[in-house]
């Protein structure tokens, strides 16, 4: 299981404000979550993080 302190702050905030993305995250397995968290760590700007969360919310992750 992934610990909360491993999740980047921007991703946590994005999931808290995008219910569809949050639901999609909740349905992911650990491997998928780890891939998403790694992608979130690579996001260099707020816009990149928002785009990642929005893709997740649209089911495009």
pLDDT tens digit string along 13-31? 999 999 999 999 999 999 9
Contact of 21 with 52, CB cutoff 8 Å: no
Binning pLDDT at 50, 70 and 90, where does residue 2 land? low
Separation of alpha carbons 41 and 61, rounded Å: 15
pLDDT the model gives residue 53: 98
29 exposure class (CB count in 10 Å sphere: 0-12, 13-18, 19+): exposed
Q: Identify the three-state secondary structure at position 1.
A: coil
| pLDDT, tens digit (0-9, with 9 covering 90-100), for 36-57 | 999 999 999 999 999 999 999 9
pLDDT the model gives residue 6: 87
Contact of 53 with 18, CB cutoff 8 Å: yes
Domain ranges of the chain: 4-57
pLDDT the model gives residue 61: 84
């Amino acid at each position: 299981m992934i610990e909360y302190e491993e999740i980047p702050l921007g991703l946590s905030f994005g999931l808290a404000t995008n219910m569809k993305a949050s639901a999609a995250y909740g349905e992911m397995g650990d491997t998928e979550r780890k891939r998403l968290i790694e992608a979130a760590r690579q996001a260099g700007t707020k816009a990149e993080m928002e785009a990642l969360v929005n893709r997740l919310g649209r089911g495009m992750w």
